[in-house]
Amino acid sequence: ADGGRNLSLESVPMGLPMSDPSAWSTAMNNLGMAPMGMTGQPLLPDFDPALGMMTGIPPINPMMPGLGIVPPPIPPDMPAAKEIIHCKSCTLFPPNPHLPPPATRERPPGCKTVFVGGLPENGTEQIIMEVFEQCGEVIAIRKSKKNFCHIRFAEEFMVDKALYLSGYRIRLGSSTDKKDTGRLHVDFAQARDDLYEWECKQRMLAREERHRRRLEEERFRPPSPPPVVHYSDHECSIVAEKLKDDTKFLEAIQTLLTWIERGEVNRRTANNFYSMIQSANSHVRRLVNEKAAHEKEMEEAKEKFKLALSGILVQFEQIVAVYHSASKQKAWDHFTKAQRKNISVWCKQAEEIRNIHNDELMGIRREEEMEMSDEEIEDPPEMKETEESALVSQVEALKEENDSLRWQLDAYRNEVELLKQEQGKASRDEDTTKEQQMKLLQQALQGMQKHLLKVQEEYKKREAELEKVREDKLKIETLLENLKEQESGTSRVCACSQEKEGPVEKTSSNSPVKSEREVLLVGIISTFLHVHPFGASIEYICSYLQRLDSKICTAEVEVLMTRLQNTFRQELSGVGASLEKRWKFCGFDGLKMT
């Protein structure tokens, strides 16, 4: 805030305040842009482009020495305007004020290191030091080859000053080459050294806090009692004098007790100690009298309190009677709704306070009755001296009877309470046992129901399986009957055909071809092998035949060809591992032989 005040005061005589449009025009001219305002309107129509940074009058900015890094206070309805920053070897141009502020990561504890990205490719550590040393003392710079670096400052507040430069465009000298320009991005960085220093600082603060608390506790601690002096004849005479004084009796009796506990009593000092004990005993009567006086004062105060409380109760009764009479219909109808509500609330409050005071007064009276039952009314001292010998025995007898009756009453009360507790426990135990039995029975019933449901499901499944088995059995029996009928019919037909065609079968049974299907196969195989004069393997022949009928198998074809030795001949071709069996057609040669 102080820096802002200095800034506003020093900017007046120079004629170039923070919001002067000429500074913004100069910045846009240096960037090679036409000087335009925030709203797109041209600024300074007669502005000379030859001017600019060569005038030697740099604009005031918050990075100038002596002004501090904190910008001046800006109204909340206006955007924060940053200005151009001139350095020896570079120039920093502010970002567009209408853009949102650059994003930053969460600040690590004790952060003194910042990450700076977007540096020009030709930027050196000297230029970085020149820009950021205005924020504060720089301890170290770690520059990377990829246009970024890490800067560590001496204090934490310097990091906030460095973050002010985030978003600025940097230009080295007056060059407009890409390698000499860049847009700075400043963000918090997490460093081990910062974290270590922060933890050390926290530990130091914790130690200081503990030390401060210890001092405070010692200050509020009550002082220790002074040490008791050692026994001597001189000290013994002083303590004996103090024992006779009522004001110093407490200090003296403490010293006497300490000496006795230390073992200072012996044959030589026994008489001195006995005299001091006798002096201490003389204070017993004084203490009894003081107690009696205090009790008398307490009784008088109780009487006064009881009288005052009874007077207060009478007044409360009168106030409550007023409220009740006001709530009757004769007067109640004339009050407004708010007045009635207030009267009813006041009446309830007065009744509650009256009941509390009444209970308190009744409690005082009960205590007095209990005290009267426990103690006997004392007579004046003159009457005691005359009647003491006659009433001692009666008083003791009455006390004993009273004590015995009280003890009997307490015993009866305890027995009644024990019986009630036992009955309550028994009823609770019975209830708990009944509840447990009911729960067990319910669980058993639920288990039985689940088991019955499972059994019923299994029974239904078994019945369905039995029905399926019966149906299958009936189907099998019908099939067997049909097969038996077919076998009997075929046997009869065969018998008749054997009788009629007996000689034909005898002649045909000698032929190797047994059916018309085999005849067809022989014809097709013969035609196939005739086309292949060098022979073919049985797999090749079967693959050709399976194109015509997929039910043909290799074993059937091979058996048929082996039976017809005069039509088909098997030969071995090849040597070693390439040895292969081939079938050839030899029907023309076999016709000559047969």
The pLDDT tens digits of the residues spanning 232-259 come to: 999 999 999 988 888 888 888 889 899 9
Q: Is residue 246 classed as helix, strand or coil in its secondary structure? A: coil
In the predicted model, is pLDDT for residue 55 greater than 50?
A: no
Query: What percent of the chain shows pLDDT beyond 70?
Result: 78
274 and 332 share a domain? no
272 and 181 share a domain? no
**Residue 158 near residue 166 (C-beta atoms within 8 A):** no
Name every residue whose Cβ is closer than 8 Å to that of residue 122 and which is 6 or more positions away in sequence: 172, 179, 180
250 and 171 share a domain? no
Higher pLDDT, 348 or 377: 348
361 and 315 share a domain? yes
User: Is 277 part of a structural domain of the chain?
Assistant: yes
Residue 183 CA to chain centroid, in angstroms?
42
User: Is 507 part of a structural domain of the chain?
Assistant: no
CATH number, domain with residue 111: 3.30.70.330
Half-sphere exposure of 247 (CA within 13 A, CB side): 0
User: Is 122 part of a structural domain of the chain?
Assistant: yes
Mean per-residue pLDDT, 484-500: 63
User: Is 226 part of a structural domain of the chain?
Assistant: no
Mean per-residue pLDDT, 317-331: 86
- Alpha carbons 450 and 455: distance in angstroms, whole number: 9
Each residue of 429-471: pLDDT tens digit? 778 888 888 888 888 888 888 888 888 888 888 888 888 888 8
User: Is 347 part of a structural domain of the chain?
Assistant: yes
Structure confidence at residue 4 as a pLDDT band (50, 70, 90): very low
pLDDT, residue 226, reads: 79
127 and 195 share a domain? yes
Domain assignment of residue 242, given as a range: 233-291
Mean pLDDT score of the chain: 78
User: Is 360 part of a structural domain of the chain?
Assistant: yes
pLDDT, residue 44, reads: 46
Name every residue whose Cβ is closer than 8 Å to that of residue 115 and which is 6 or more positions away in sequence: 148, 149, 150, 185, 186, 187, 188, 189
Domain count, the chain: 4
Name every residue whose Cβ is closer than 8 Å to that of residue 104 and which is 6 or more positions away in sequence: 163, 166, 187, 188
In the sheet that 138-143 helps form, which strands lie side by side, from edge to edge? 138-143, 148-153, 113-117, 185-188
CATH number, domain with residue 547: 1.10.10.10
Which of 145, 175, 200 finishes a domain?
Answer: 200
Which of 330, 350, 367 finishes a domain?
Answer: 367
In the predicted model, is pLDDT for residue 11 greater than 80?
A: no
In the predicted model, is pLDDT for residue 181 greater than 80?
A: yes
Structure token digits, residue 143? 């520059």
pLDDT, residue 393, reads: 65
Task: Kindly list the distances between the CA atom of residue 116 and the CA atoms of 65, 162, 165, in Å, as whole numbers in the listed order.
Answer: 22, 9, 10
Task: Kindly list the distances between the CA atom of residue 423 and the CA atoms of 119, 227, 336, 414, in Å, as whole numbers in the listed order.
Answer: 90, 61, 58, 14
Structure token digits, residue 99? 């853009």
Nearest to 198 by CA among 108, 106, 110, 107: 110
User: Is 350 part of a structural domain of the chain?
Assistant: yes
User: Is 580 part of a structural domain of the chain?
Assistant: yes
280 and 311 share a domain? no
pLDDT, residue 214, reads: 93
Mean per-residue pLDDT, 497-520: 62
181 and 119 share a domain? yes
173 and 275 share a domain? no
Q: Rounded to the nearest 5 degrees, what angle is found at the Cα of 404, between the Cα atoms of 402 and 407?
A: 110
Greatest mean pLDDT among 31-45, 244-258, 358-372, 503-517: 244-258
pLDDT, residue 27, reads: 46
pLDDT, residue 390, reads: 56
Mean per-residue pLDDT, 286-303: 90
Mean per-residue pLDDT, 36-50: 46
In the predicted model, is pLDDT for residue 205 greater than 90?
A: yes
pLDDT, residue 56, reads: 41
In the predicted model, is pLDDT for residue 72 greater than 80?
A: no
pLDDT, residue 123, reads: 87
In the sheet that 181-183 helps form, which strands lie side by side, from edge to edge? 85-86, 90-93, 169-172, 181-183
Which of 367, 383, 410 finishes a domain?
Answer: 367
Structure confidence at residue 201 as a pLDDT band (50, 70, 90): very high
582 and 549 share a domain? yes
Lowest mean pLDDT across 180-189, 298-307, 572-581: 572-581
272 and 320 share a domain? no
Output the CA torsion 465→467→471→477 (10° steps): 90
- Alpha carbons 447 and 451: distance in angstroms, whole number: 6
Mean per-residue pLDDT, 140-146: 90
- Alpha carbons 532 and 571: distance in angstroms, whole number: 14
278 and 329 share a domain? no
In the predicted model, is pLDDT for residue 552 greater than 80?
A: yes
98 and 184 share a domain? yes
